[in-house]
Amino acid sequence: MIASRRTVLAALAAGALTGCDRPGSLASGGRVTSAAPTAVAGSRAPGTVPPAAPVLSRAQVVARYGHLRPHTWGFGGPGVARELNTSRRVIALTFDACGGPGGSGYDQALIGFLRRREVPATLFLNSRWIDANPAAFGQLAAEPLFEIANHGTRHLPLSVTGRSAYGIGGTRNAGQVYDEVATNQAKLRRLLGVPPRFFRAGTAYCDDVAARIVTAMGDRLVSFSVNGDGGATFTPGQVRSTVTGASGGSIVICHLNHPESGTAQGIAAAVPDLLASGYRFVRLSDELR
Ligand SMILES: [Zn+2]
């Protein structure tokens, strides 16, 4: 029983995360503005923002990792968190906002449900989504219920050789890996007052050298163990059955940038199921060190 469920989850996890990458699907759905979001009120007093210096400079990353060749490509790798370090009945719901051609919509029904039921979640936000949704970003970032994480600058698979995932060309070298992580990291650090702790690559794909770079930059690279909405392509019923199949320690990936998808309805059905089975929900920082 358990083995068969794990097999199903593994198969689903290997499925497409096309919600990140549907060309032009909702690119016009979100209001694009050039106005930069303002810092989150109350997150940290002006003048006390720590210096923006990253752990490593771009030149240091290129010098240390630029000559290394990768050996793996996928959702795992050195230092990549695919599950929580526990078998207790806790589950981390994570929602990506991919931005750009991957969609800059905002699923208010989904977020409204999480608020009403006080379900904590980790939100992986891409730089372009933040630019397109400054007001929503400010609200989400000010709520302790939600933890803000980094979903990249251009939403690129994280490669040191330009490998592709779902037809999206990845970063081409160690310097571009640095840029993909650090640019949005600096934006979030400026807006939040503190740097986000977690990074998920666009499409969630990475190679092992890129994974080592993210770790060396002081970030925790996060993948997933349950593909909850199939890249925002699942029906509500599929989302419900997949997410309800999560087990203790699961990291569930879904999307908040496709309000037309079945994600909100599916999550609203799955959460009561899981609560009734004794599960509770956590943000990544509640469990991952
Ligand atoms: Zn994405």
For the chain, 289 residues long, give each residue's pLDDT as a single digit of tens: 333 444 334 434 444 564 555 433 322 333 233 344 545 543 444 344 454 556 899 999 999 999 999 999 999 999 999 999 898 999 999 999 999 988 999 999 999 999 999 999 999 999 999 999 999 999 999 999 999 999 999 999 999 999 999 999 999 999 999 999 999 999 999 999 999 999 999 999 999 999 999 999 999 999 999 999 999 999 999 999 999 999 999 999 999 999 999 999 999 999 999 999 999 999 999 999 7
Burial class (CB in 10 A: 0-12, 13-18, 19+), 24: exposed
Separation CA 154–CA 151 (nearest Å): 9
What spacing in Å lies between the alpha carbon of 236 and ligand 1's midpoint? 19
- Dihedral of CA atoms 244, 239, 147, 51 in degrees, nearest 10, equals 130
Which contacts (CB < 8 Å, 24+ apart) does range 48-54 have? 48/193, 49/189, 49/190, 49/193, 50/189, 50/194, 52/186, 52/189, 52/190, 54/182, 54/185, 54/186, 54/217, 54/218
User: Pairing state of beta strands 198-199 and 226-227?
Assistant: unpaired
What spacing in Å lies between the alpha carbon of 276 and ligand 1's midpoint? 30
What spacing in Å lies between the alpha carbon of 253 and ligand 1's midpoint? 10
What spacing in Å lies between the alpha carbon of 198 and ligand 1's midpoint? 14
Record the tokens describing residue 110, joined without a space. 């989904």
What spacing in Å lies between the alpha carbon of 150 and ligand 1's midpoint? 10
Note the pLDDT of residue 43.
43
- Dihedral of CA atoms 111, 113, 116, 122 in degrees, nearest 10, equals -50
Note the pLDDT of residue 101.
87
- Dihedral of CA atoms 152, 158, 160, 161 in degrees, nearest 10, equals -120
What spacing in Å lies between the alpha carbon of 257 and ligand 1's midpoint? 9
What spacing in Å lies between the alpha carbon of 168 and ligand 1's midpoint? 11
Per DSSP, 58 falls in state H
Q: Which residues contact 4 (CB under 8 A, 6 or more apart)?
A: none
Residue-level length of the chain: 289
Separation CA 80–CA 31 (nearest Å): 33
Place of tokens 């330009």: 162
What spacing in Å lies between the alpha carbon of 1 and ligand 1's midpoint? 32
What spacing in Å lies between the alpha carbon of 199 and ligand 1's midpoint? 11
